[in-house]
Amino acid sequence: MSNFYRDNDDIQFLLKHIDLHKITEICVESFKYAGKFDYAPASSDEAIQNYNMVLDSLGQLAGDFIAPRAENVDRDGNILNEDGSVTRPKGLQESLEKLAQAEVMGFTLPYRFGGLNFPNLVYSMAIEIISRADAALMNIFGLQGIAETINAFASEEIKQMYLPDFAAGKVTGAMVLTEPDAGSDLQSVKVSGHDMEEERPATVYQDAQGNWFIRGVKRFITNGCGEILLVLARSEPEISDGRGLSLFLVERGPWVKVRRLEEKLGIHGSPTCELFFNDAPAKLIGERQRGLITYVMSLMNGARIGIAAQSLGIAEAAFRVARDYAASRKQFGVVIEKLPAVRDMLIDMKLAIEAGRALLYEASRVVDMEIGYAKWLETNPPEDKDLAKQLKSQSRQYKRYASMLTPMSKYYCSEMCNKVAYDSIQVLGGSGYMRDYACERHARDARITTIYEGTSQLQVVAAVRGVCSGTSENLLTELAQQKFDPELSDLLEKLAEGTEQLKKAIVFIKENGSEYMDLYGRPLVDMAIDLINGYLLCSQASANVMQVSAENGTKIPMKEHKTATARRFITKNAPRIKASAETICTGDKSTFQQYEVLVGPVPEPG
C-alpha cells in the first residue's frame, strides 16, 4: 500500500508550518457557508482537517491506483480516430474516473457549484502528488484553471451552465491559445491558420443576430480533445496587438476537429492537439478586448503555478528511484550511496526539491492572500476607511509579490526538475538509460516543463522586472524580520550579505538599461531566488513542528533535518551569489557587440 501524501514528510511538515489559518479564513470568507454546503467548514481547524483528509485520500489514490498505471499510459499514448475524436489511454481514463469519484475535480471552485473551495496552496500540494504518480494525468487534473477562469470572468448564466459539470468531473477543459505563427507571442493571435478547403486566413466573426463563430487552426493544445475549450481569438481585426483579443468558450462538437496529435518526447498520456474550428459556435467570456490582457494572463499565471507543482512531482519521483537504487546497488564491495560522489549528488537532489517546494508553496500562499484580499474588498469592503486603505495596500503588495514569485517558481522548479531527472539517470548508470526503470520516463516528462506555459527565458524576463522594481527587496526585508533560531545567526549574516550584493547588482543593471537587464536577468533572478529560499529554509529550521511518520508512527527530527538543509543550501550558494553579482557588474556586452564573431555564420544547409 503506497500513499504519496503520507510518505512525504516535507509536504506534511509544510502543511503544519505555513499559517493556513489566515489563508483559510480569507478563502472561505469567514466560514459563512458552514451548514449550507457539505464541505463548508465552521472553523479554520475544521478546514485544515479537511485539507489533510483530502490530501490523504488523494495520496492513497495516487500511490495505489494511478502510479501503477503510469508506465502503460506512457507506452499506449492517445489514438486519433477518423472522425477527429481522441481515445485516451485506458489507464489514464480510469484514473480520471477515480478522481471524479473522489470529488476533487473542482478543487478551488466555490461550494455552490459543487467545488471544494480549497486554497491554491493545497491545490499545489495535490498537483504535486498527482504528478509524482503520473505527470501526464496532471495535464488534465491541473487544468482546473479553465473552470476558475470561467468562475472569475464569465456571466452567471455561463457559470451555472458549465461549472457544476467541471466540479463533478463530467467535463475537462483546454486553454486554446497557441497558433502556428503565434507561440509565446500571443499578441500575434488572429485566430490564424487557413481554411481546410481554401487557403484563406481564419477568423472569429458575428452573424446578424450577434452570435459569435470561430473558424481557424490552433496548435500545441494540451487536452485539445476536452469538452470545454477557452479560445483566444481576435475580435477586433483593426487592432493588431493584444487589445484586439477576446476570450471565447467553445463546446466540443462536430464543428471542432482534432486534425493531428503531436508525436512527443514525453508526457505521452496527455494529448497535444492541432484543432480546426469549422464555424464553431462560441460564447464571449467577460468583455471584448480583455481576452489576453486580463483573462489569459490570469489563466496563465495559474497554469505556471501548476507546472511548477508538476515539476516538483516529477523531481520527487525521479529522486526516489535514484535514492532506492543507490541504497541497494553494490559496487566495489559497498552500496553506491557510500561513494562520496553519489552521496553528494543525492543530497543536492533532495535539497533542490525542498528548496523548490519552499518557493512554490510560498508563491501559492501569496496568491491565496492576493485573491482573498481582492475578494474581500470587492464583496464586503469595510466601512472603516483606515481599514479599507490598509487592506488595499496589503492587496497591492501581495499582487506585486505574486507577479514576481509566480514566474520565479515556474522557472526554478522546472529547471530543478530537469536537473534532478538527469541526475537520477546518472545515479543508475546504464540501467537508468533503459526502460526497466522509471527514471528515463521521468527525464522525458521533465523536459517539457521548461518550455510550456512560457519558457524559462520568458519566466526570467517576467521575474526580473519584480527584482529590479524593488519587490524582491521588500520581500527579503519582510522575510528577514521573522523570528529565527539563534543558532542560525551565521546563516542570516550570509543572507544579509547576499542581499547587499543583490542590491548593488540591481543598481548596476539599472544604470545600463533594459537591454542589459534582459541580458543578465537570469543570474540576477537566480540570486534573488537563492536568497528568498535561504530565508524560507531558515524559517522552517526555526519551527517547533514535530512531524510524526504516518507510516510507522515514529517521530521524525524535522528540526535537525531542516537546520542541516538550510545550512548546506545557504553555505553552498553564498559563493554563487557573490560570483553572480561580480559577473553582472563586469559590464560585458559582447552578446550585443560581437554576436556574429562569436557564433559564426549561419551553417549552409546539407
Per-residue H/E/C for 527-564: HHHHHHHHHHHHHHHCCCCCEECCCCCCEECHHHHHHH
3-state secondary structure 319-372: HHHHHHHHHHCEECCEEHHHCHHHHHHHHHHHHHHHHHHHHHHHHHHHHHHHHH
| Tens digit of each residue's pLDDT (9 = 90 or more) over 245-262 | 999 999 999 999 999 999
- 389 vs 549, more confident: 389
User: Residue 294: is its pLDDT beyond 60?
Assistant: yes
Contacts of residues 177-182 at CB distance under 8 Å and 24 or more positions apart, as own/partner, are: 177/218, 177/221, 177/232, 177/296, 178/218, 178/219, 178/220, 178/221, 179/216, 179/217, 179/218, 179/219, 180/217, 180/219
User: Residue 45: is its pLDDT beyond 70?
Assistant: yes
What value, to the nearest 5°, has the Cα angle with vertex 415 and ends 183 and 530?
Answer: 125
| Tens digit of each residue's pLDDT (9 = 90 or more) over 80-101 | 999 889 999 999 999 999 999 9
pTM for this predicted structure: 0.94
Kindly report the number of other CB atoms within 10 A of residue 16's CB atom.
14
- Kindly report the CATH number that applies to the domain delimited by 173-289: 2.40.110.10
What does the pLDDT read at residue 190? 56
Question: What gap in Å lies between CA 481 and CA 474, rounded to an integer?
Answer: 11
Question: What gap in Å lies between CA 75 and CA 435, rounded to an integer?
Answer: 11
Measured CA to CA in angstroms, residue 600 lies from 590, 591, 595, 596, 597 at distances of 14, 13, 8, 5, 6
Mean pLDDT, residues 540-568 taken together: 80
Closest CA to 444 of 309, 274, 263: 263
The cell 464543428 sits on which residue? 255
Which of 275-279, 492-496, 548-552 has the largest mean confidence? 492-496
Question: What gap in Å lies between CA 483 and CA 539, rounded to an integer?
Answer: 8
Question: What gap in Å lies between CA 406 and CA 302, rounded to an integer?
Answer: 8
Contact between 303 and 175 (Cβ < 8 Å): yes
Question: What gap in Å lies between CA 118 and CA 40, rounded to an integer?
Answer: 10
Q: What is the dihedral of CA 555, 556, 558, 559, to 10 degrees?
A: 60
Q: For the chain, what's the residue count?
A: 606
Contact between 452 and 307 (Cβ < 8 Å): yes
Confidence of residue 192 (pLDDT cuts 50, 70, 90): very low
Domain 173-289 and domain 456-590 have a common topology: no
> Cell digits for 373?
484580499
Distance from the Cα of residue 382 to its chain's centroid:
33
Confidence of residue 345 (pLDDT cuts 50, 70, 90): very high
What does the pLDDT read at residue 15? 95
What does the pLDDT read at residue 181? 56
Question: What gap in Å lies between CA 511 and CA 56, rounded to an integer?
Answer: 52
Least confident of 15-24, 288-297, 473-482, 504-513: 288-297
Closest CA to 428 of 415, 418, 438, 413: 438
What does the pLDDT read at residue 202? 44
- Listing DSSP states for 121-163 in one string gives HHHHHHHHHHHHH-HHHHHHHTTTHHHHHHHHHS-HHHHHHHH
What does the pLDDT read at residue 582? 97
- Listing DSSP states for 366-403 in one string gives HHHHHHHHHHHHHHS--S-HHHHHHHHHHHHHHHHHHH
Kindly report the number of other CB atoms within 10 A of residue 556's CB atom.
14
Residues 212-251 as b/e (b if ≥16 CB within 10 A, e otherwise) read: bbbbbbbbbbbbbbbbbbbbbbbbeeeeeebebbbbbbbb
Mean pLDDT, residues 509-530 taken together: 96
**3-class SS at 499?**
helix
Question: What gap in Å lies between CA 128 and CA 475, rounded to an integer?
Answer: 25
Contacts of 103 (CB under 8 A, 6+ apart): 114, 116, 167, 168, 169
User: Residue 326: is its pLDDT beyond 70?
Assistant: yes
The cell 529547471 sits on which residue? 415
Distance from the Cα of residue 396 to its chain's centroid:
22
What does the pLDDT read at residue 193? 39
Closest CA to 14 of 482, 401, 539, 571: 539
The cell 495535490 sits on which residue? 126
In sequence order, the β-bridge partners of residue 280 are: 214
Question: What gap in Å lies between CA 26 and CA 379, rounded to an integer?
Answer: 12
What does the pLDDT read at residue 185? 45
Question: What gap in Å lies between CA 494 and CA 531, rounded to an integer?
Answer: 9
Domain spans of the chain? 173-289, 456-590
What does the pLDDT read at residue 116? 95
User: Residue 2: is its pLDDT beyond 60?
Assistant: yes
| Tens digit of each residue's pLDDT (9 = 90 or more) over 399-408 | 999 999 999 9
What does the pLDDT read at residue 199? 34
Arithmetic mean of pLDDT over the chain: 92
CATH value of 456-590 in 3.30.450.20, 3.40.50.150, 1.20.120.470, 3.40.50.1980:
1.20.120.470
Question: What gap in Å lies between CA 428 and CA 321, rounded to an integer?
Answer: 9
Report the percent of the chain where pLDDT is more than 70.
94
Contact between 366 and 402 (Cβ < 8 Å): yes
User: Residue 432: is its pLDDT beyond 70?
Assistant: yes
Q: Could you tell me whether strands 228-234 and 245-251 are parallel, antiparallel, or unpaired per DSSP bridges?
A: antiparallel
User: Residue 288: is its pLDDT beyond 70?
Assistant: yes
Confidence of residue 198 (pLDDT cuts 50, 70, 90): very low
